[in-house]
Amino acid sequence: MYGVWFYIWPRWDELMNFKVWCDAAIQIFYSLGPGCGGILNMASYNSFTNNNKIDSILVPLCISATSITAGFVVFSVLGFMSHKTGIPVSSVASGGLGLAFVTYPEAISLLPWANFWAILFFLMLFFVGMSSAFVTIEAIITSICDEFPVLRRHKLFITFFTCCIMWACSTIFTTNSGMYWLTLLDCYSVSTSIVLISLVEVTIVGWTYGAKYFLKDIEFMIKKKVSWLWFISWKFSIPVILIAIFIMTIKTDTDITYDGKTFPKWTIDLGWDCCYVSMACIPLYMGYHLLYIEEGDFIQRIFSSFFPSKHWGPVDENTKLKWIREVKLRQVGGKFVKKRPQEILQLITTV
C-alpha cells in the first residue's frame, strides 16, 4: 500500500518542470505509436464504413487505462521491495529500462514462490514484445509492397527477410554492453524523431491536403457529422503542441547514465546520428519529389507540392460512388461474381 500511495499521491510542484511534461508526452507516443505507420497499417484492414472517430477516442482511453492499471501492479511490487529492504520507494523506483529488467525482477525475487512469479513476469514481457513486433513488421512489409507492387506475390519472403535483418541487428543487445546500447537508442533514436514525423504528418493532413476535405472524407465514411473541434485540432492545436514538445525534447536533453556510469561524448553523438537518420528521410524524399515527380520550373514545383495531386482526393460524389461499387465487388469475391450476377446487380443498384 505504501508503493500504491506513492504512485497516486500527486506532487504538484513537478507540474512546473518542463521535463516532466516532455517525458509524459513522449510516453504517450510510445504507448499509442503515432508516426510509426503501425496505426495506419492496421486500420487499413477495417471496412470502408468503419467508425474511425469512435476508434480514435476508444483506443487512447483503453491504452491509458491499461497503463494506469499496470502502474498499480508495478508500484505495489516496488512498495513491497521498499518494505523488505528499507529503501524509500522514490529510490527503489528508478526510471528507464532498469525498472523492467533490474529493479522489478529483483523485487520479484523477494516474493514467496519467486520462480513462479519470475516466469509469469518474463512471459508477459515476451508477449508484449511479440505483439509490438507484429505491428512494426507489418508496417515495414506493407510499405515495401505498396511502394513496389510487384513484390506482393513474394510477401512471405519479404517477411522472412525483414525478420532476419531485425534479428541480426538486435543481437547487439544480448552482448555484455547490450543494456548500454539499449539505453542509448531508447533515449535518442525514437523520442525526438517520432515527434517531428508526427508533426509533418498532421501538417500535411491539416494544411496540404486540407483539414476541411479530411473532415468531409470521414463524414462520408461514417455517414455522420463530425464536430468542428476535430478541424481545430488538426489545423491548429495539435501542430502547436507538437512544436512545443519537439522544442522541449531538444532543450531538456541531458547526458544519460546507466548503473551510475555516464555515457561518453562519442556515444551521445552516435545516438543523435541514429535520430537524424530517420528524420533525414523526410527532406531527402521531398528533394526527390521536387526533382523527379513535380513538373514545371523550380518555383512552380515548390508551389504545386503544397497542394494535393490531381489524382488524389478530395473527389466528387460520382467518383466516390464508383469507387464504393468497386470496393463492394471486391468484398464479394471473384467466385460470387461469376456464379451469382443477379445479387451483384442488386448490390450495385442499392449502392
CA 306: distance to chain centroid?
25
Cα 192 to Cα 136: distance, rounded to the nearest angstrom: 18
| 293 in any annotated domain | yes
* Spatial distance between the Cα atoms of 257 and 42, rounded to a whole number of angstroms: 36
Residue 245 falls within a domain, yes or no? yes
- For residues 238 and 28, the answer to whether their CB atoms sit within 8 Å is no
Are 139 and 37 in contact by the 8 Å Cβ rule? The answer is yes
Same domain, 276 and 333: no
DSSP-assigned letter for residue 235: I
Digitized pLDDT (tens) for each residue of the chain, 351 residues in all:
888 998 888 888 888 887 788 888 888 888 888 888 888 888 888 888 889 899 999 989 998 898 899 888 888 888 888 888 788 887 776 666 777 777 778 888 888 888 998 899 889 889 988 888 888 888 889 888 888 888 888 989 999 999 999 999 999 999 998 888 988 888 887 778 889 999 999 998 998 888 988 898 888 888 888 899 999 999 999 999 999 888 888 877 667 887 778 888 888 888 888 888 888 989 998 898 888 888 888 888 888 887 776 666 545 556 556 656 655 555 555 444 444 445 545 555 555
| Residue 194: count of CB within 10 angstroms of its CB | 22
With CA atoms as reference, report the closest residue to 142 among 216, 210, 42, 214: 42
Q: Which amino acid is at 221?
A: M
Same domain, 181 and 306: yes
Cβ(305)–Cβ(290) under 8 Å?
A: yes
Q: Using alpha carbons only, give the angle 63, 3, 78 rounded to the nearest 5 degrees.
A: 85
Q: Are residues 249 and 332 in the same domain?
A: no
**Residue that has been written with the C-alpha cell 492496421 in this structure:** 42
Q: Which amino acid is at 26?
A: I
Distance from C-alpha of 32 to C-alpha of 11, rounded to nearest angstrom: 25
Are 305 and 325 within one domain? Answer: no
Contact 138, 39 (CB under 8 A): no
Please tell me whether 82 is known to bind a ligand.
no
What's the pTM? Answer: 0.79
If asked whether residues 186 and 296 sit together in one domain, one would say yes
> Which cell is 55 given?
476508434
Rg of the chain in Å (alpha carbons)? 25
> Is residue 229 assigned to a domain?
yes
My answer on whether 344 and 284 are in the same domain is no
CB 151 within 8 Å of CB 144: yes
Give me the domain span that covers residue 326: 317-350
pLDDT at 116: 93
Q: Is 322 contained in some domain?
A: yes
Predicted pLDDT of residue 259:
75
Residue 297 is assigned to a structural domain of this protein: yes
- What DSSP assignment string belongs to 114-146? HHHHHHHHHHHHHHHHHHHHHHHHHHHHHHHHH
Domain match, 299 and 336 both:
no
User: Which one, of 64, 63, 56, lies nearest residue 214 by Cα?
Assistant: 56
Q: Which of 69, 105, 107, 115 is nearest to 89 (CA)?
A: 107
Do 322 and 292 share a structural domain? Answer: no
Asked if residue 285 belongs to a domain, the reply is yes
Q: Does residue 301 sit in the same domain as residue 259? A: yes
Residue 278 lies in a domain: yes
Residues 304 and 183 occupy one common structural domain: yes
The verdict on 216 and 249 lying in the same domain is yes
Cβ burial of 193 (10 Å; 0-12, 13-18, 19+) is: buried
The whole-angstrom separation of Cα 202 and Cα 199 is: 5
The domain tally of the chain equals: 2
How is residue 257 annotated by DSSP? E
Q: Per the annotation, does 90 bind a ligand?
A: no
Query: Domain check: are 197 and 303 in the same one?
Result: yes
Classify residue 2 by burial, with Cβ atoms within 10 Å: 0-12, 13-18, 19+.
middle
Residue 25 lies in a domain: no
Beta-sheet strands, E only, within 12-138:
none
- Whole-number Å distance between alpha carbons of 111 and 93: 17
Q: Are 103 and 92 in contact (CB under 8 A)?
A: yes
Q: What is the pLDDT of residue 320?
A: 58
CA distance linking residue 292 with residue 301, whole number of Å: 10
